[in-house]
């Protein structure tokens, strides 16, 4: 069941996102957040990976794993759209069979877009997670656990696909640098993950 607060987040009217400016691009920090996660983080998300809009990999060079609407309920404690960072892991099993090769079963750094994707004018809020790892195959139908550890930036609108891609690439680098701090790295061994599986 989706609680009332989460339902409000999921169903609220699409807000107007500020336009990304050149000043914003030039002043972006390399590392974000405090030296250790602070409340409301960490936030646990889990659900079955489902088909999204098919734009991440094709249009943006950034394939994403989309979670069902009810899986983003825990993000209601944050209530602001934007880009987040943390770790995620894909279950190797689907339909009772091991489907992922061993190299794809680890706990991976991730970035997550929570919002309306104003450049594409989405009609509903989505949570799209990009795992920073090259998978051999897709993992639709697999269970995914994610641990959201911090916030990178607000959701923005863009005048071109190229400027959106540029920010996505920066988001990835900011996430990796932010996660490299010891208080964040330790979450790779969190109990929500199957830490018996191979890690990167």
pLDDT in tens, 49-94: 987 655 444 455 577 888 888 888 899 888 688 999 999 999 999 9
Q: What is the pLDDT of residues 186-199, one digit of tens each?
A: 999 999 998 665 44
For all residues of the chain together, what is the average pLDDT?
83
Q: What is the pLDDT of residues 87-136, one digit of tens each?
A: 999 999 998 899 899 999 999 999 999 988 655 555 577 888 999 998 88
Q: In the chain, what percentage of residues exceed pLDDT 90?
A: 46
Q: What is the pLDDT of residues 175-185, one digit of tens each?
A: 999 999 999 99
Going along the chain from its start, the domains and CATH numbers come out as 4-13+31-189 (2.40.30.30)
pTM here?
0.83
Instruction: Give pLDDT, residue 18.
Output: 60
Confidence band, pLDDT 50/70/90 cuts, at residue 2: very low
10 Å CB burial of residue 41 (0-12, 13-18, 19+) is buried
Q: What is the pLDDT of residues 83-100, one digit of tens each?
A: 999 999 999 999 889 989
Catalytic residues: 128
Q: In the chain, what percentage of residues exceed pLDDT 70?
A: 76
Q: What is the pLDDT of residues 139-168, one digit of tens each?
A: 889 999 999 999 999 988 887 888 888 999
């Amino acid at each position: 069941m989706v609680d009332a607060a989460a339902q409000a987040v999921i169903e609220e009217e699409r807000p107007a996102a500020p336009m990304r400016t050149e000043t914003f691009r030039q002043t972006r920090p390399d590392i974000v957040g405090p030296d250790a996660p602070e409340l409301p983080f960490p936030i646990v998300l889990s659900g079955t990976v489902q088909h999204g809009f098919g734009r991440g990999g094709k249009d943006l060079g950034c394939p994403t794993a989309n979670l069902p609407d009810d899986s983003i309920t825990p993000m209601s404690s944050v209530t602001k759209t934007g880009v987040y960072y943390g770790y995620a892991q894909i279950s190797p099993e689907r339909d009772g069979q091991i489907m992922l090769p061993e190299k794809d079963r680890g706990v991976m750094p991730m970035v997550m877009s929570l919002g309306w994707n104003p450049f594409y004018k989405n009609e509903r809020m989505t949570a799209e997670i990009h795992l920073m790892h090259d998978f051999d195959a897709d993992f639709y139908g697999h269970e995914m656990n994610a641990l959201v550890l911090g916030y990178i930036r607000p959701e923005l609108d863009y005048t071109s696909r190229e400027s959106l891609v540029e920010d996505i690439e920066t988001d990835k680098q900011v996430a990796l640098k932010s996660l490299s701090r010891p208080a964040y790295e330790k979450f790779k061994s969190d109990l929500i993950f199957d830490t018996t599986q191979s890690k990167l």
